[in-house]
Amino acid sequence: MATEQSKIWINQNFKGIELLSANYQQFEFSKHWHDELAIGIIEEGAEGLLYRGENLLVPSQHIVAINPGEIHTGFAGTERGWRYRMFYFDLNTLTDLFANSDLAIEPIIEQPIIFDAELYQQLLALHISLEISSLQITKDSLLSIALENLFSRYGALSSHENQFQPDTFSAKMARDYINDNWQRSVSLAELEKLTGCSKFKLIRSFNNVYGLTPHQYMLIIKIRNAKTLLTKGLSLIETALSCGFYDQSHFHRNFKRAFGIPLPIIYPVNFCNFVQEKTYNSD
């Protein structure tokens, strides 16, 4: 028997973005349209799509884009069906997001099927960050990066900037601010206000200068300080709270990403020996 699973929600920090995660095997959508810009990523299987009078097939690891007001259907493209994640972007929300950008966008994507491995991973990371516990700067940064790349590569876009010139001073100012406030959850809006640089240009400048985005840098600083606090004898809960993580799962997940090992329930006295000698399964 086919199993149909779906979940739809709105992240409390982004009221203008509806999110869907679903696994369909036999389900078929009737003809419909969205007032929003619908962007999806196919994780497994393939989705069939009747769009603009054509039957299309969107395989796994591909992006599907449905423009506002376009009538379409969706159905299983293989016997196994398809598993996917969708964003439904309110048009006013998109306008607000790009209000201070040097990019002038129209919420129209030129092609319904996109194969772009980098953008696929960015959209996947964004969708997951809006489902699980994540720092606000992580959500904001992933949203800015993914949408800027989506519209600059595949949208109706005109740029007022012929060639990108990194703002080194703003990048350094943002880095110093993160270093001084690593215990808090510094937001992208804070950094934008501090530097006077748009979030889009700040992210690109920071990555150009330091090889990391601001949210990646902040997580590294938090985890490095967490390691120091743990070696001083603080408990996992005390350390997570001191470093500004939202919950234990958020702390554990990022610690393992940084050091390749999960946190133990009882923290050993000699952390250095523990890291060097203890081995864990990677799953």
| Phi and psi, residue 201, nearest 5° | -70, -35
**Residues 38 and 87: beta-carbon distance below 8 Å:** yes
In this structure, what token pair is assigned to residue 246?
């939202």
Res 278: pLDDT: 35
Strand partners, 38: 66, 88
C-beta of residue 5 within 8 angstroms of C-beta of residue 39: no
275 torsion bin: left (phi>0), alpha (psi -120 to 50), beta (else)? alpha
Residue whose token pair is 């938090």: 222
Q: Residue 160, class by beta-carbon neighbours within 10 Å (0-12 exposed, 13-18 middle, 19+ buried)?
A: exposed
pLDDT at position 13: 86
Place of tokens 């997001």: 97
What structural domains and CATH numbers belong to the chain?
5-157 (2.60.120.10), 169-283 (1.10.10.60)
Q: What is the pLDDT of residue 260?
A: 64
How far apart, in whole angstroms, are the C-alpha atoms of residue 206 and residue 200? 10
- 41: which strand partners? 63, 85
User: 96 with 29: CB under 8 angstroms?
Assistant: no
Contact predicate 80/125, CB 8 Å = no
- The model's pLDDT over 77-100, given as tens digits with 9 standing for 90+, comes to 999 999 999 999 999 999 888 887
pTM (predicted TM-score): 0.81
Give me the DSSP letters along the chain: ----EEEEEE-TT-TTEEEEEEEESS-BPPSB--SSEEEEEEEEEEEEEEETTEEEEEETT-EEEE-TT--EEEEESSTT-EEEEEEEE-HHHHHHHTTTSSEEEEEEES-SEE--HHHHHHHHHHHHHTTS---HHHHHHHHHHHHHHHHHHHEEEEES-SS----HHHHHHHHHHHHHTTTS---HHHHHHHHT--HHHHHHHHHHHHSS-HHHHHHHHHHHHHHHHHHTT--HHHHHHHTT-SSHHHHHHHHHHHHSSPPPSS--S-HHHHHHH------
Query: Which pLDDT belongs to residue 282?
Result: 30
| Residue 272 confidence (pLDDT) | 41
Q: Which parts of the chain have pLDDT scores under 50?
A: 1, 158-162, 265-283
pLDDT at 44: 96
pLDDT given at position 269: 41
